[in-house]
């Protein structure tokens, strides 16, 4: 509710209001610099809001630390993958499940690997030496290992080959099918809208349009054209 975020003198979000229903998929779209990543960082506790309030699953998370928000079930897959490139695949997964009770960690890791077979025979490989798509799979596996209630996925397909993007979207669709709420921030507008129920278009730090994903194509077009026309 009325979220604002400032980076020093630069205000990146202005009075953003957004409700995401449980189990829904929201595509957050907008031109470069519109404030999408800032929104994701604020909701996951990585940057503080200068005003406004955020509630997740009934809990006020406005001033919560990132680990508290993560433990509440909200996982952020940041732009640029958010893995530890110097650690092995296995250690990356171990780090992801640290917040779980000890007895549940091993099972959670095995479950994540089962969802992403490509990681199975790479447990000891240094994460940073895997291909971009494999790293993205690891990032998603890390997110899903803790069976989150909600994922905010920021530009998951950035820099990936089209076939690999397909695989990433397939896994997101799987997460949706098991009831995970998803906010997907994407450059591939069409793909994101296919997966989403709702669409939010950001423009210069504000929500400029919200509605059904099926109604969004024209609004997206207008917004992007408007943005480039004003550059």
Q: Which residues bind ligand ATP (CB under 6 A)?
A: 7, 10, 12, 30, 32-38
Min dist CB 172 to ligand ATP, Å, is: 18
Min dist CB 207 to ligand ATP, Å, is: 12
Chain-centroid distance of CA 29 in Å reads 12
Whether the CB-CB separation of 184 and 197 falls below 8 Å is answered with no
SS (H, E, C) 170-211: HHHHHHHHCCCEEEEECCCHHHHHHHCCEEEEEECCEEEEEE
Min dist CB 153 to ligand ATP, Å, is: 13
Residue 7 or 174: the one with the smaller Cβ distance to ligand ATP is 7
Min dist CB 102 to ligand ATP, Å, is: 36
How many C-beta atoms lie closer than 10 Å to residue 130's C-beta?
19
Min dist CB 35 to ligand ATP, Å, is: 4
How many C-beta atoms lie closer than 10 Å to residue 178's C-beta?
10
Min dist CB 15 to ligand ATP, Å, is: 15
* 186 phi and psi angles, rounded to 5 deg: -145, 150
Residue 145 or 185: the one with the smaller Cβ distance to ligand ATP is 185
């Amino acid at each position: 509710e009325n979220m604002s975020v400032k980076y020093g003198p630069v205000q990146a979000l202005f009075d953003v209001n957004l409700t995401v229903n449980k189990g829904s998929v929201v595509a957050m779209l907008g031109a470069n610099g519109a404030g999408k990543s800032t929104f994701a960082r604020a909701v996951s506790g990585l940057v503080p809001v200068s005003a406004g309030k955020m509630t997740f699953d009934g809990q006020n998370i406005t001033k919560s630390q990132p680990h508290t928000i993560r433990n509440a079930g909200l996982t952020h897959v940041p732009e640029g993958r958010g893995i530890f490139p110097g650690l092995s695949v296995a250690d990356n997964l171990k780090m992801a499940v640290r917040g779980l009770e000890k007895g549940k960690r091993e099972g959670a890791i095995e479950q994540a690997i089962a969802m992403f077979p490509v990681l199975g025979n790479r447990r000891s490989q240094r994460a940073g030496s895997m291909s971009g798509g494999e790293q993205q799979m690891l990032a998603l596996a890390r997110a899903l290992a803790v069976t989150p209630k909600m994922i905010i996925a920021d530009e998951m397909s950035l820099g990936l080959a089209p076939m690999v993007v397909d695989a990433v979207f397939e896994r997101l669709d799987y997460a949706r099918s098991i009831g995970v709420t998803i906010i997907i921030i994407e450059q591939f507008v069409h793909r994101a809208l296919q997966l989403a129920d709702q669409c939010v278009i950001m423009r210069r730090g504000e929500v400029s349009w919200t509605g059904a994903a099926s109604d969004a194509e024209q609004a997206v077009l207008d917004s992007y054209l408007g943005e480039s026309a004003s550059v």
